[in-house]
Structure 1
Amino acid sequence: MITLVRRAAVLGTLGATLAACGTATEAPRAPRPAPTASSAVPSRPAPPGPPTLAPGPAGLTPVFEHGPRAREKTVALTFDADMTADQGPRAAAGERFDNPRLIATLRRLKVPATVFMTGRWAEQYPDQARFIGRDPLFEVANHSYSHYAYTDDCHGLPTVPKERMRSDVERAYAAFEKAGVRDAMPYFRFPGGCHDRAALEELATTGVTAVQWDVVSGDAFATDADAVARQVLDGVRPGSVVVMHCTRSAAPVTEEVVRTVVPELRRRGYRFVKVSELIGASDDRR
């Protein structure tokens, strides 16, 4: 499996390959002589990568919950694209784990957002994953491959064994790459939000920042869009991260909630941003 550090290089290679799409392979070239001191061109610094947080105590995976409170009124809407490894038969039978109408509404309203995607979702809906991943309005982050929990007793979810946690994260990134998602972010959301010290230790070498939230929308399995919208509007503060879902079968009212929440928060003076902007504004970033 690729590591997160190698993943960045692989993504760059994939982008170049897609751009070249169908060109012939070049013939081998003779090696160039090393430049002399007089002819050497100073190398340019590599562009900075996405902002992340510094490791936590003892090198643990850092955990981000919200942005600065005392600065401008920003808020990040995040959407979990959930699908477990064993839900393929349900999808084949017609159950919809995607929500194209929600994504279209976000585009129409010009709302930046972060989509925390499972690898299994990207495999089920590769075209949608690619379109989301290549739209500059959005950023794709990691929500595990299988949406299995990283702790015991997490909302009834099956559990990923400790020794497979890192490979589960890496498998999700591999699924994004296969679907054509460019530059997936080094952010990880634990399924169910459940984590403990052991999980933070296991993921430390992947280089991800774990992203939680401070506003629970309550859209999962909800049928009252007005109640969900009120919960979001009552909870948002400057720097908030709102958790919602991008799965029609499990969160059928989310698109309606967005149509209510977005204009009202804008009326209150809020600006919508991606999670990366909130992390970039954090005093704990590296």
Structure 2
Amino acid sequence: MIPLTRRLLAACTLGAALTACGAQGPARQGPAGSASPSATRPPVLTPGPGGLTPVFEHGPRTLGRTVAFTFDADMTADQGPRAASGEHFDNPGLIAALRELKVPATVFMTGRWADQYPAEARDLGHDPQFEVANHSWSHYAFTADCYGLPTVDSGGMRADVQRAYNSLRAAGVPHAMPYFRFPGGCYDQRALRALSGLGVTAVQWDVVSGDAFATDADAVTRQVLDGVKPGSVVIMHCTRSAAPTTERVVRTVVPELRKRGYRFVKVSQLIGETAGHR
């Protein structure tokens, strides 16, 4: 988790707050190579030169007022004892609010979070209002100097992503999306090369909510409302202990954006529109 600061807009491609929070067609091939029955294959961006992992930040600006809310469900291995002692790294109230407001959303979940909260991971994974994507297993950074996070060496990056998919499957998430969010939003060419061949699209964002460790819900609300444009991807968190204002923010922001003519979609829809718009 990181403090609210404009450094986010410059470092690590709008770096994120760190510690946060389920038709007929061909079988979907999972990012780690496992086939799973589903509807059509989720949209992904075309890899770059040499198969370099593609990066998605926002959808088209010219295809209507759509916005995707994304929520990081973050947890690291060393936070297990804190969870055991009663600290909450989940946020059922936020999920209930999204359901009540009928807001589809994409949840980027660490494998460690799924290990800690398997029933909640399974519930999200089976709810068509949500899509669950990969946020690494360890929540260690994939670059140096990423907001003080420990780092994964390049030889361990691919395994960390695959381990997260394994945890999601073990928790009962049947069709985790082929989308990956770098911890802290920090990546470089080495990290993108390390994940080449996994079939994932790296998903960033263009609106930083600033909900990490925030205590002023009004300030977070203003930041979201001031930042959203057609096709925006908003990053928020679903961890009560580290993002305690997020439910209040969502309950305020959603009706206001709807009054402005915005429609809420999942990241997969924006990626599909982007791929088809090129």
TM-score (norm: length of structure 2): 0.87
Q: Which residue of 1 aligns with 2:222?
A: 230
User: Deviation at 1:191?
Assistant: 0.2
Return the match for 2:117 from 125, 128, 135.
125
Q: In structure 1, what is the Cα distance between the partners aligned to 2:169 and 2:154? A: 24
Q: In structure 1, what is the Cα distance between the partners aligned to 2:77 and 2:67? A: 31
Residues 33 and 198 of structure 2 are in contact (CA less than 8 Å); yes or no, is this contact kept in structure 1? no
Aligned partner letter, 2:75? M
| Deviation by residue 1:208-241 (Cα, 9 ceiling, x = unmatched) | 0000000000000000000000000000000000
User: Deviation at 1:71?
Assistant: 1.1
Q: Which residue of 2 aligns with 1:4?
A: 31
In the superposition, relative to structure 1, how do residues 240 and 249 fare at CA in structure 2: closer, same or farther (>3 Å)? same
Return the match for 2:177 from 173, 179, 185.
185
Q: Which residue of 1 aligns with 2:231?
A: 239
Aligned partner letter, 2:33? R
| Deviation by residue 1:122-142 (Cα, 9 ceiling, x = unmatched) | 000000000011000000000
Q: Secondary structure of 2:133's match?
A: strand
Q: In structure 1, what is the Cα distance between the partners aligned to 2:222 and 2:191? A: 33
Aligned partner letter, 2:196? A
The number of aligned residues is 250
Q: In structure 2, what is the Cα distance between the partners aligned to 1:108 and 1:117? A: 22
Greater radius of gyration (CA): 1
Aligned partner letter, 2:254? V
Between the two proteins, what is the percent identity of the paired residues? 72
User: Deviation at 1:205?
Assistant: 1.3
After superposition, the CA RMSD in angstroms is 1.6
Can you give the 5+ residue segments of structure 2 that lack an aligned partner in the other structure? Answer: 1-28
Q: How does 1:78-227 map to 2 (within 5 A)?
A: 78-227=70-219
Q: Secondary structure of 2:33's match?
A: helix
Q: In structure 2, what is the Cα distance between the partners aligned to 1:176 and 1:106? A: 21
In the superposition, relative to structure 1, how do residues 202 and 56 fare at CA in structure 2: closer, same or farther (>3 Å)? same
Can you give the 5+ residue segments of structure 1 that lack an aligned partner in the other structure? Answer: 16-46
User: Deviation at 1:245?
Assistant: 0.2
Q: In structure 2, what is the Cα distance between the partners aligned to 1:284 and 1:193? A: 25
Q: Which residue of 2 aligns with 1:40?
A: none
| Deviation by residue 1:119-175 (Cα, 9 ceiling, x = unmatched) | 000000000000011000000000000100000000000001110100100000000
Q: Which residue of 2 aligns with 1:267?
A: 259
Aligned partner letter, 2:53? T
Aligned partner letter, 1:269? G
Q: In structure 2, what is the Cα distance between the partners aligned to 1:285 and 1:116? A: 25
Q: Which residue of 1 aligns with 2:16?
A: none
In the superposition, relative to structure 1, how do residues 285 and 62 fare at CA in structure 2: closer, same or farther (>3 Å)? farther
Q: Which residue of 2 aligns with 1:276?
A: 268
In the superposition, relative to structure 1, how do residues 194 and 147 fare at CA in structure 2: closer, same or farther (>3 Å)? same
